[in-house]
Structure 1
Amino acid sequence: MSPRVKWGLALLSIPIMLWTVIPLLWMVALSFKDAASQSNAPDMNMFGNFWPKEPTLQNYREIFVGSARDLFVPALMNSIIVCLVSTLISVILAMFCAYAISRLDFPGKRIILGTALTVSFFPVISLVTPLYDLWRAIGLFDTIPGLVLPYLSLTLPLSIWIMTAFFQQIPWEMEQAAQVDGATSWQAFRKVIVPLAAPGVFTTAIITFFTAWNDFVFAISLTSERARTVPAALAFFTGASQFEQPTGAIMAGAVVVTIPVVILVLVFQRRIVAGLTSGAVKG
């Protein structure tokens, strides 16, 4: 790649990064503003009313120890539990399903993949009404399992597709060599196939976690109070009066919710890149 092309791509990436970063910075700036600063008072803000001159942690205290604590903290715990359980179940089931699809030859294999792809494109909003009636009838409404099961319908098809592509890239001869050395089929899968597919497993787990973490439709429709997650809880924030919008508290909650996503990407960045590019080059 010539220097001219490199500089051209670098210049092209600048507006793209600004387009992505500025809304996030605006969210952070609002979380540090008090009610007076949010009124766009020029004497209390700088950079065109973008950043407060005197940042405050009032909004963060509001959601952790203030009046919004009873709404935000339980919702944050529910989000962590629901997303971790959904991710674990989805990855385990997708791992076995993808292994069977990529290694075994049985009738209906293409139908399973096609069905998984069709389900992943199915409109979520169309499932809410029948699930709401069913969950109310069988006692799953406003429960953790009542959210985990619908989340599997979102994450499992995508996980199967991603992991199937990774397992198909692993040479079958390596598994056969392990069996020749005395390993059982389960030992070959656990000690040979799974470590080789680790980048794909990590990539699938992180994408699955993000999908469940950011869901709003199921969270607000299938919960009331006990199992409500953070995306739904933010919609119920109220101000000091009926005429005041809790913009700062909502932005503080959004920043807190974004932190786990950033941490996961930073910690597992190399594995994500390795997983996304696995199989791109043969040989």
Structure 2
Amino acid sequence: MTAVRAPKAAANPGASREAWRRRLLYAGVALVTGYCLVPFYWMIVSAFRRPTDQFDNTPLPAPFSMDNFSAVFDPDNGFGRSLLNSVIVAGVTTVLTLIVGVFTAYALARLTFPFKNAVLGIIIATSMFPGISQIVPLLKLFTDIEWMNTYQAMIVPSLGFALPLAVWNLTVFFRQLPFELEQAAMVDGCSRGMAFRKIIIPLAAPGVFTTAIITFIAAWNEFIIALTMVNRKEMQTATVAISKFTGSANFDQPFGTQMAAGVIVTVPLVIVVLVFQRRIIAGLTAGGVK
């Protein structure tokens, strides 16, 4: 007796479409990631080439050379002092931005006063002006008050660019924190200041930390202000120092040295982001779901 075979089940068209969507998504992510990483890969490869091999197109340097990194820290370049200047400017800018931004954002999130939303809108609107449009008046002002070639000439304008983003980000974050937490703390005997210091600030740590990282990166990478407000070599930041590298004869373009300096400047930022990526993501997504 011949057994009757059951017909094969028809393939699920929905599952097939979902699998194709997933493949397309992965392919898109891989394409975007590769597009973003290729310039950094080529910068690293160029940094480890010998100066005589800078125009080679091989995917890896052959042989590996540290000559470009040695040239970066040549005493004539003063790159070590420039790195210190960048740390000072970015660090002070970040600290001042957090101090002013936290109190401003808390007031905008918790207090009720006329035109509060208009004030927040004006703060955000100030960040929409291109930085280059503020250079001439700032240059005139700092010349008159004798701030040229000083740290404050780089820090104060950076504050103007960093504060609007910090205030906006922290205001949204503070609004997500339940007001009942402060009320409960004040019922237990805390003043509003104590409740803010002991309850709100610890809860707002992810948002504050994310704002600090974003502000530090923006201040670290700032170029046009540092280039305009400083003309003394010992006061210039790392980004300006890289743009002023000269070759062995002061006429050739030192691509390898610039690439090596770019690696030195970029690696600390990459390490910070990789180490604190969970805190950064937590701060960016906090309050996204009720």
Residues 67-124 of structure 1: CA deviation (Å, up to 9, x unaligned): 5442x11111000000000000001110000000000001231222111111111111
**2: CA distance, partners of 1:123 / 1:39:** 36
Residues 46-72 of structure 1: CA deviation (Å, up to 9, x unaligned): xx42321111111111112x25442x1
Equivalent residue letter for 1:249: T
1:90 to 94, 97, 100: 97
CA displacement at 1:179 relative to structure 2: 0.6
2:50 to 27, 34, 37: 34
What is the TM-score when the length of structure 2 is the normalising length? 0.91
Equivalent residue letter for 2:63: E
Bigger Rg, which one: 2
Q: Which residue of 2 aligns with 1:279?
A: 287
**2: CA distance, partners of 1:75 / 1:170:** 41
Residues 123-175 of structure 1: CA deviation (Å, up to 9, x unaligned): 11011111112111211111011111000001001100000000000000011
Residues 183-235 of structure 1: CA deviation (Å, up to 9, x unaligned): 11111101111111111101111111111111111010011123211111111
Runs of 5+ unmatched residues, structure 1: 41-47
Q: Is 2:207 the partner of 1:200? A: yes
Runs of 5+ unmatched residues, structure 2: 1-14
Q: Which residue of 2 aligns with 1:62?
A: 71
CA displacement at 1:278 relative to structure 2: 0.9
1:149 to 151, 156, 161: 156
Q: Is 2:271 the partner of 1:256? A: no
Whether contact under 8 Å (1:62, 1:68) holds in the other structure is no
Runs of 4+ in 1 over 6 A off after TM superposition: none
**1: CA distance, partners of 2:251 / 2:50:** 16
- Alignment partner of 1:50: what SS? coil
Q: Which residue of 2 aligns with 1:6?
A: 22
* 1:134-283 alignment, distance < 5 Å: 134-225=141-232, 226-282=234-290
Equivalent residue letter for 1:269: Q
**1: CA distance, partners of 2:228 / 2:131:** 11
Q: Percent identical across equivalent pairs?
A: 42
Pick closer, same or farther for the CA change 1:3–1:180 going to 2, 3 Å: farther
What is the TM-score when the length of structure 1 is the normalising length? 0.93
Q: Is 2:97 the partner of 1:81? A: no
**1: CA distance, partners of 2:75 / 2:256:** 13
Between 229-238 and 106-115, report the one with greater CA deviation: 106-115
**1: CA distance, partners of 2:197 / 2:285:** 23
Whether contact under 8 Å (2:174, 2:204) holds in the other structure is yes
Equivalent residue letter for 2:160: S
**2: CA distance, partners of 1:68 / 1:155:** 33
**2: CA distance, partners of 1:245 / 1:93:** 42
Equivalent residue letter for 2:117: R
CA RMSD of aligned residues (A): 1.4
Q: Is 2:33 the partner of 1:17? A: yes
**1: CA distance, partners of 2:101 / 2:161:** 12
CA displacement at 1:242 relative to structure 2: 3.4
Equivalent residue letter for 2:261: G
